Amino acid sequence: MIEMRDISKRYGDFQVLKNCSTRVAQGEVVVVCGPSGSGKSTLIKCVNGLEPFQKGAITVDGVSVGDRKTNLTKLRARIGMVFQNFELYPHMTVARNIRLAQEKVLGRSPGEAQAKAMALLARVGLAEQADKHPGQLSGGQQQRVAIARALAMDPIAMLFDEPTSALDPEMINEVLEVMVELAQEGMTMMVVTHEMGFARKVAHRVVFMDEGEIVEDAAKEDFFGAPRSERAQKFLSKILHHI
Amino acid sequence: MGFDVGVIVQSLPFLMQGLGLSLLLTVLAAAGGIVMAVALALMRLSGITALSLIAAAYVNFFRSMPLILVIFWFFFLVPLMIGRPVGGFYSALIAFTLFEAAYYAEIVRAGIQSVSRGQVAAGYATGLSYGQTMRFIVLPQAFRNMTPVLLTQAIVLFQDTSLVFVVSLRDFMTATTIVARNEGRLIEMYLFAAAVYLVICLAGSLYVRRLQRKFAR
């Protein structure tokens, strides 16, 4: 579904990504982890062309992201994305947040878009919040709305960029639960996160990044059981063994 | 002699006509200026060097010119170029619009930049185009952030409309001067004019402050 080959990207002299290659198969859940500044977020933003890259190739469902001839807008409409800071539109109600792209991009009628929005809100447990503005919701609720907004486009894959990093600890689970459910339904997912519990529960593969490189790309069992690289071992011991 | 309020009351219809013209010019020039300013700001932020330079040149050029000179151009020079008179009202309106656009452009640019890049990314990520992202996501938030500053600039514009006397238009200030001279009531008329400007601009400023407080929440 998602194929990355030798992706390199630099900001001036700083090399953010070095020859990154990986793939996400249909229905697969891949967790990308690594220390901050390792390039995980940049990598996932390359998948839908939010970040341009200088070298390498990415294809999503056979469509090349870096190709100038590719209609990126069209491709993005088919890939859902959830951001660290939710990025709901603060001047619109929750329901309108979910309706907007359905109407403007997919051309759905307002009635159809509203029905879809309400169904998805019910699914993430927020049906009563439809007419509120994002500012009136908690962080966890906002992120669940953001997931609903992405799902409203019937995406072929979902990208999550540190979806729980901006949340208070007590709200992390409500968001993870929605993501686990999605994963179990067979959604193709690429998830940048530090939540190793989530990775253990639903990931098929774990990609470990450090200093712009993919250091390890292994099946979940192998990664958690016996990480090969020293850097991954260090990272795991830090993240798993704090009290 | 004494202070004669009667002269104000008598000339009120005439004065109000002048005030009407001042307000009409303010509203039309502000509206036109804002529309142009959005185009200029988008050009400036487009990342396309040519467009960005044109917009920057426009803004810097008009910001270096005295407003009164711009009004003169349209009244005296443009008719020479197009072969027919533009008329006082239209030359003033065009001059004000072009001039205000330069000032509004910088406000709008700051307003657009005040909207976080993540909002743009969110729009793009759902498949919205550049135009749709601007129209539905960025500009509504930008205008909300910049409304107080835009209104403040409109208040300045309202005061500047008194310059149109140079092309023989009868704005509020000019009307006041005519009555003052004809009736020999300079003190009454100019005090009254000051009071009217004060009330209108104060009301505007208070409204701006209320908006700011509302948005700050």
Q: Which pLDDT tens digit goes with each residue over B113-137?
A: 999 999 999 999 999 999 999 999 9
* Distance from C-alpha of A96 to C-alpha of A78, rounded to nearest angstrom: 19
* Each residue's pLDDT tens digit, A160-200: 999 999 999 899 999 999 999 999 999 999 999 989 889 99
CA terminus-to-terminus distance, chain A:
38
Asked whether the predicted pLDDT for residue B217 surpasses 70, the reply is no
Average pLDDT over residues B176-198: 89
> For A54-58, what is the mean pLDDT?
92
Interface test with B, best of A79, A87, A96 (most B CBs within 10 A): A87
pLDDT of residue B216: 65
- The answer to whether A158 faces chain B, any CB pair under 8 Å, is no
pLDDT of residue A243: 53
Sorted by where each begins, the domain ranges of chain B are 6-216
What is the rounded distance in angstroms from the CA atom of residue B189 to the CA atom of residue B127? Answer: 61
According to the model, what pLDDT value does residue A47 have?
94
Q: Mean pLDDT over all residues of chain A?
A: 92
pLDDT tens per residue across span A2-16? 999 999 999 888 899
Name the minimum distance, in Å, from the CA of B126 to any CA of chain A: 5
In sequence order, what are the beta bridge partners of A208? A33, A216
ipTM of the complex: 0.91
Question: In 10 A of CB A8, how many CB atoms?
Answer: 15
In this predicted model, what pLDDT tens digit does every residue of B135-149 receive, in sequence order?
999 999 999 889 888
State the nearest Cα–Cα gap between B143 and chain A, in angstroms: 11
Average pLDDT (B45-70) is 93
pLDDT over threshold 80, residue B2: no
Instruction: Read off the pLDDT band of A225 (50, 70, 90).
Output: confident
The predicted structure's pLDDT at residue A241: 64
Residue pointed to by tokens 């349209």:
B74
B30 pLDDT more than 60: yes
The reported pLDDT for the residue numbered B164 is: 87
Asked if the Cβ–Cβ distance from A85 to B118 is below 8 Å, we say: yes
Pinpoint the alpha helices (H) of B6-138: 6-44, 49-64, 67-72, 78-82, 88-113, 117-125, 130-132
In this complex, the residue of B125, B128, B140 whose CB is nearest that of residue A91 is: B140
- The model's pLDDT over A186-197, given as tens digits with 9 standing for 90+, comes to 999 999 998 988
The residue among A243 and B62 whose pLDDT is bigger is B62
How far is residue A212's CA from residue A39's CA, in Å, rounded to a whole number? 5
Q: Do A50 and B124 touch (CB under 8 A)?
A: yes
Token digits of residue A148 = 């609903």
- Pairwise CB contact (< 8 Å): B127 & A73: yes
Confidence at A69, pLDDT banded by 50, 70, 90: confident
> What's the CATH fold of domain B6-216?
MetI-like fold (1.10.3720)
Strand ranges in A154-212 using DSSP code E only, listed in sequence order:
157-161, 189-192, 205-210
Instruction: Give the pLDDT of residue A239.
Output: 78
A-chain residues within 8 Å CB-CB of B127? 73-74, 76-78, 101, 105-106, 153
Confidence of residue A50 (pLDDT cuts 50, 70, 90): very high
Chain B environment of A87 (Cβ under 8 Å): 116, 118-119, 121-122
Residue B70 predicted with pLDDT over 80 = yes
Q: Could you report the per-residue pLDDT of A102-140, keeping only the tens digit for each?
A: 999 999 999 999 999 999 999 999 999 999 999 999 999
CA distance B185 to B23: 25
CA dihedral A143, A145, A147, A152 (to 10 degrees): -170
> For all residues of chain B together, what is the average pLDDT?
90
